[in-house]
Amino acid sequence: MKKSLYFISFLLSLFLISNRISSQDITKSENLENKSNYQLLINRLDSLAAANQALLKYSNHSIAVYSLNSNQMIFSRNADNFVKPASVTKLITSFVTFTLVGDSFKIKTQFYTNDKNLDDKIINGNLYIRGYGDCTQKLEDLDEIVRQLKSLGIKKITGDIVADGTFFDNLNNRFHYSGDDDEVEPTALISALSLENNRIKIIVNTKVSGEPRVQIIPYSPSINVILNNLGTPPSVKVKPNRKKPIKPQNTRPKIFSKLDERGYQTITISGRLAQNSSLYFEEFNRNPVLTYAGAVFNRLINNGIIVEGKFGQVTDGNNQDYSKITLIGEIAKPINLIINQMNKNSNNYYAENLFKFNAAIANKDKNLAISSKIMLDSLMGYYFENNKNEIKIYDGSGLSRRNRISANLLVTILRHITKSNFFGSYLSSLAVAGRDGTLEKRMRGTVAEQKVFAKTGTHRDVSALSGIAQANDGEIFLFAFLFNGGGVGSYKLLENQMCEIIAAY
């Protein structure tokens, strides 16, 4: 409750400040006068930078601190430097999403049929499921599809269950569409229809008599698990009075996955598995749209709805015209649900889905990576004419090492957001220092706790932090700290210290 009240008061003060500065014209002389009022803050930040001169000397960095109250840059070092932002890229992804669809938008999964008469409680035709990029879907969402069909009295489907993921293009591997040279972190395939983050969970249980029991989540007839040459690991004889410890043998089986010509996925688990044990595996879903169709197919049958046809997916060459068939239900999720998880917890999978969603909504090119670039360049030119060339974004999560942005442009974007009608939703998606998300354990117990709302970024050679901070006297500052080079842990400490200086001002 205390945290909610603090957030509301902070939001109100920021709203009043942003409205005041948008209606006033600060002259150059006023700026100079105001600048002198921040000399103590500037001196402290300068002293901190000087104390870390050895660290900063060998880094490519970009730093900017901007006062929202006086509408001016207070402190900067290489603010126009073009550097790698890592996960701070997610600030751009969420800015684009809110700009395109607003913060009250709901992302939908819709169900259609080509049967125009359902009075007989039978779908004499196909059930189509059209996805628009809801990456939050779990197995319980399939139960909602079943519930809505049963509420219509549907007892039988004579045709097929057809999943349509063509809202996104077929370039569904982030590593490929980003054009990267190295894969920082593998991500699941990005698809307009997905279940369980497009990961397949496999539990192999030998605590049963006979053959091991295999559980697959989500289950779909398009997924098959083969246990190959599983056996009991050999025992190790321990010699008495042995001085050197015996290293335990690696008994974890290997896992291999491939698709067949139908698009079905076979997962083979080979190796030795101890008796009376269970082992948990995760594997990326190699054909998520077909898996979705199969999972719905299975769910319907298990809930008493007869399906006489098969399950399959719409291909690019066989697009369905949904304006000519009947919408019979939908699942709708707030777009904020995705953005909050993406920003607070730095969810890369959600970020890449939003990257594709933004590009599909913009519809600038069939290749969504190209569409995203055209759309982002257009937005930058429209809102930030003087800074439009300071950004290069190739994915939504920031995993790409090709991404480039400056601290100055990040602060400029944040300034625009504070005056937007989606600012409240944007602010609430950011991690809070010492409280939640990726900042839960940072700045805890300091003056900056609960006063910093920001997005973190980390690669092996990148540390970044950008967001909004409130000073002791209630003044609001926007900031962006971007560091490229070795010593990521030292950069994070420096970021914390700069935030603490601002919060204590």
What digits encode the pLDDT tens for the residues 470-495? 999 899 999 999 999 988 999 999 99
- Do the beta carbons of residue 486 and residue 467 sit within 8 Å? no
In the predicted structure, residue 434 carries a pLDDT above the cut 90: yes
Residue 493 pLDDT: 97
As given in the structure block, the two tokens for residue 330 are: 């939908």
In the predicted structure, residue 371 carries a pLDDT above the cut 90: yes
DSSP 3-state of 60: strand
Regarding whether 474 and 353 lie in a shared domain, the answer is: yes
Residue 240 pLDDT: 58
User: What is the 3-state composition of the chain as percent helix, strand, coil, each rounded to the nearest 5?
Assistant: 40, 25, 35
Among 195-204, 295-304, 375-384, 496-505, the range scoring the smallest mean pLDDT is 375-384
Regarding whether 352 and 473 lie in a shared domain, the answer is: yes
Regarding whether 32 and 95 lie in a shared domain, the answer is: yes
Per-residue pLDDT tens over the stretch 18-29: 554 444 444 444
Residue 174 lies in a domain: no
In the predicted structure, residue 356 carries a pLDDT above the cut 60: yes
Residue 246 pLDDT: 56
- Upstream peptide bond of 234 is cis (omega within 30 degrees of 0): no
Regarding whether 460 and 350 lie in a shared domain, the answer is: yes
Regarding whether 252 and 361 lie in a shared domain, the answer is: no
Residue 156 lies in a domain: no
Residue 277 pLDDT: 81
Those residues with Cβ within 8 angstroms of residue 319's Cβ, 6 or more apart along the chain or in another chain: 166
- pTM comes to 0.90
b/e for 249-277, b at 16 or more Cβ within 10 A?
Answer: eeeebeeebeeeeeebbebbbebebeeee
Residue 32 pLDDT: 45
Nearest residue to 368 (alpha-carbon basis) of 378, 376, 357: 357
Among 152-166, 303-317, 395-409, 416-430, the range scoring the smallest mean pLDDT is 303-317
Residue 238 pLDDT: 52
**Cα→Cα distances 187→14, 87, 176, 203, 352, Å:** 37, 14, 11, 21, 9
Of 224, 258, 284, the residue that ends a domain is 284
Per-residue pLDDT tens over the stretch 232-291: 555 555 555 555 555 555 567 889 999 999 999 999 998 887 778 888 999 999 999 999
Sorting pLDDT into bands at 50, 70 and 90, what band is 454?
A: very high
Question: What's the mean pLDDT when you consider all of the chain?
Answer: 90
**What percentage of the chain carries pLDDT values higher than 90?**
77
Regarding whether 217 and 99 lie in a shared domain, the answer is: no
Regarding whether 486 and 354 lie in a shared domain, the answer is: yes
Per-residue pLDDT tens over the stretch 69-126: 999 999 999 999 999 999 999 999 999 999 999 999 999 999 999 999 999 999 999 9
Regarding whether 424 and 361 lie in a shared domain, the answer is: yes
Residue 400 lies in a domain: yes
Regarding whether 475 and 388 lie in a shared domain, the answer is: yes
Those residues with Cβ within 8 angstroms of residue 135's Cβ, 6 or more apart along the chain or in another chain: 194, 197, 338, 349, 350, 353
Per-residue pLDDT tens over the stretch 187-245: 999 999 999 999 999 999 888 887 888 999 999 999 999 988 666 555 555 555 555 55
- Do the beta carbons of residue 288 and residue 194 sit within 8 Å? yes
Residue 30 pLDDT: 45
Residue 500 lies in a domain: yes
Regarding whether 215 and 90 lie in a shared domain, the answer is: no
The total of structural domains in the chain comes to 2
Regarding whether 274 and 344 lie in a shared domain, the answer is: no
Residue 169 lies in a domain: no
Residue 176 lies in a domain: no
CATH number (domain holding residue 454)? 3.40.710.10
In the predicted structure, residue 10 carries a pLDDT above the cut 80: no
Whole-angstrom Cα distance, residue 72 to residue 66?
6
Regarding whether 362 and 219 lie in a shared domain, the answer is: no
Residue 305 lies in a domain: no
Provide the domain limits for residue 423.
Answer: 2-103+336-504
Nearest residue to 131 (alpha-carbon basis) of 363, 346, 326, 292: 292
- Do the beta carbons of residue 62 and residue 385 sit within 8 Å? no
Residue 210 lies in a domain: yes
Of 254, 284, 314, the residue that ends a domain is 284
